[in-house]
Amino acid sequence: MSNAATKTGLEGAVVEIPQLGVTTQTDNSGRFVLSGLPAGNHEVIVSYIGLDNAKTQVAVADGQRAVRDVELTTNIYKLDAFKVTGEREGYALALTMQRNAENVKNVVAMDSYGNLPNLSVGEVVMRLPGVAPITQDEGLNYAIQVRGMPGNLNTVTMDGQRMPSIGTNRALELHTVSATLYEQMELVKGLTPDASADSLGGNVNLKTRSTLNMKEKRRLNF
């Protein structure tokens, strides 16, 4: 599953076969698997925020695997006579992940904050609901309160791995971390059983950028 204009894999796209009541979602590379389908022709409907729904027919034979590539687009790309200003695709992906989440969390794309004077993680996360900044003497946001909990009762992870603090408590110095290094940020407020017990207020998870999310060819310079 990819965007026809950018050739980027679409994560979190909803794939369903209404006649069978089967629904799934694409992974971070835009791929999906529907297993246990009966033989025959099936109509597959794909939907994604900001793009038009796509319908395709897939013929499934007994004991064989059917492969189908689907590209989603929108009529906005065809309006050459108009100048259309829209939100970036990273924002649509963030909304999709927030909608499909099994717990309470906010997901934001870092490319939505391109005009901040100080693009640190502390400046970005303070703009999310339920977050209050903790400032130092210079006015920099070095820590955050989530739902009223102090900074040492919130955790910060990078791709799911805990980021240590260099201070005297467990609160990470967010003003020292540049937000431009990351593609996406998650603020988890409803923790699942696998989360750390010291994340009473919430957890900020920073996702690094990856070329594996792009469908186009990779180029290596060395």
* Domain spans, the chain: 2-78, 103-211
% of residues, the chain, pLDDT over 90: 11
Structure tokens at 119: 């693009």
pLDDT score of 170 more than 80: no
* 31 neighbors 10 (Cβ within 8 angstroms): no
Is the model more confident about 88 or about 41? 41
pLDDT score of 87 more than 60: no
**Confidence band of 44 (pLDDT split at 50, 70, 90):** very high
Q: Which of 64-78, 114-128, 150-164, 165-179 has the highest mean pLDDT?
A: 150-164
Best CATH choice for the domain 2-78 from the list 3.30.2350.10, 3.90.180.10, 3.40.50.300, 2.60.40.1120? 2.60.40.1120
Q: Which CATH superfamily is domain 103-211 in?
A: TonB-dependent receptor, plug domain (2.170.130.10)
pLDDT digits (tens, 9 = 90+) for 123-155: 888 888 888 888 877 777 778 888 888 888 888
% of residues, the chain, pLDDT over 70: 86
- pTM value is 0.57
pLDDT digits (tens, 9 = 90+) for 89-116: 667 777 787 788 788 888 888 777 766 6
pLDDT score of 23 more than 80: yes
**Mean pLDDT on 156-169:** 83
